A = this chain, B = another copy of it.
């Protein structure tokens, strides 16, 4: 990985662009037009350089995306006041992560690009694990519990974000409506019964309810 040159010496040509400038410009592009518009070529021209100059500051596009996520995490994750009760603390920490991620429309593509989100998220992970330990779990169980919460949270983001994009895009949403309107009540009675409430029901934000249930289940009987 290329490093900024040591400041004690300036042995070669002085840099014209910096990692910070690259990431800053990348962030702007992504915020204004979405991740799919972020290309190395585009970024190069916006930063006032050539595509290949970028490769002197980042290894490849994937590294750029991870750096971008890190940058976002640093500025978006605000540590909340945490309740004393372990159960509520876990819910609060997970909710804080979830809120930061949900507010970031381009997160999905990057989420699926790395599982350890960012250094600045570790404090939240600590709160989750310690809350679960205080709730009665062993350390190992608490780490597993944290993973379960992370699965649930990441899944919620991915599924809801994708569904939202779909809806915004075009008429393909009618596929679901079509399927649900043609349900056989003999074969799939509950789905047929819920068919016309399905859209509003799944549009509701139930992250918190599901999270509470999960935490309750994880700590049940301890």
A residues near B (Cβ < 8 Å) are 108, 111-116, 119, 122-123, 125-126, 129-130, 133, 139-140, 142-145, 147-148, 150-156, 158-159, 162-163, 166, 175-176, 179, 183, 187-191, 193-194, 197-198, 201-202, 204, 206, 209-210, 212-218, 220
Question: Which residue of B155, B159, B189 is within 8 Å of A126 (Cβ)?
Answer: B189
Alpha-carbon gap, A11 to B30, bound state (A): 49
Contact between A162 and B113, CB atoms less than 8 A apart: yes
CB distance from A157 to the nearest CB of B (A): 8
Given A155-B153, A155-B158, residue A126 in contact with residue B188 (CB < 8 A): yes
**7 nearest A-B pairs in the assembled complex, by CB-CB distance:** A155-B155, A217-B217, A148-B210, A213-B217, A151-B155, A216-B217, A154-B155
Question: Which residue of B113, B204, B217 is within 8 Å of A212 (Cβ)?
Answer: B217
Contact between B212 and A143, CB atoms less than 8 A apart: no
Nearest CB to that of A182 among chain B residues?
Answer: B119
Known pairs A122-B188, A126-B189, A217-B217; list 16 more (Cβ under 8 Å). Answer: A112-B158, A122-B179, A123-B188, A125-B191, A126-B190, A130-B190, A133-B190, A144-B210, A145-B210, A147-B202, A150-B159, A152-B214, A154-B155, A213-B214, A216-B216, A216-B217
Contact between A115 and B166, CB atoms less than 8 A apart: yes
Question: Which residue of B123, B133, B206 is within 8 Å of A147 (Cβ)?
Answer: B206
Contacts of A111 in B (CB 8 A): 158
CB distance from A105 to the nearest CB of B (A): 13
Nearest CB to that of A214 among chain B residues?
Answer: B214
Contact between A162 and B213, CB atoms less than 8 A apart: no
Alpha-carbon gap, A116 to B178, bound state (A): 12
Contact between B148 and A154, CB atoms less than 8 A apart: no
